[in-house]
Structure 1
Amino acid sequence: MKNHLFNLLNNLKNAQQAKKSFFFFKNIKLCKKILNLLWKEGFIAGYLIQKSTFFFIKIFLNQKFNINLFYIFAHYKNSYVLSFKELYKINNSLFLLILTTTKGIFTLKECKQKKLGGKLLILIK
């Protein structure tokens, strides 16, 4: 799980720095969920699953937002579980925080709206 997320975010960061308009990545269920959240937040312009081969996703980049820094918390050593009260104290205007909850994978803003706590997964700045 950790390697797929790292590869996706690293490829996204490198493609944005090279000013590419799109890049290809493996079709993995967890990565599609992360891409859906990134699309909602405006970090990417969209993604398309190739119909000829279902093994790759074509990811279209948004040049307005650049990913400068990302950190993946999906290590067994670094399992940070935060309750709703702890999440409510975090200001989310400077970064995008993605959490895994019992209801699925959500951003910090969605967790605050649904009053859910969860385990930290990714921090994108």
Structure 2
Amino acid sequence: MRVYVTSVFVDDQDKAEKFYTEVLGFKVKHSIPVGEYRWLTLVSTEDENGTEVLLEPSDHPAVGPYRAALMADGIPVTSFAVDDVQAEFERLSALGVKFTQEPMDAGMVDIATFDDTCGNLIQISSYKG
């Protein structure tokens, strides 16, 4: 068994697609109309057959309280692996990404957390080698 798709709830699929592709560097894998929304999945350009991130509309009534609680407590909704947290922090900061937690040593990993502009906190991490 392996992870095929993981969801990130977003307020606006078009805005999220732009941020996740143009700023973070993901690539659209599927963009299939489903009613008023899309089955919109992204993949890493480094692993186009890897796990897909589904940019899921946040309209379900349970999503709002869930995301608000995570945001209020500073808890990231997911974590993306990067080779070098400090370098990625600098790259994303230069692109205007707002970090809620600057790079820090967390034992076996370095981590940082940013606001994805779509209602979520996202953590980046890199294992120490």
Using structure 1 for the length normalisation, give the TM-score: 0.34
Higher helix share: 1
Using structure 2 for the length normalisation, give the TM-score: 0.34
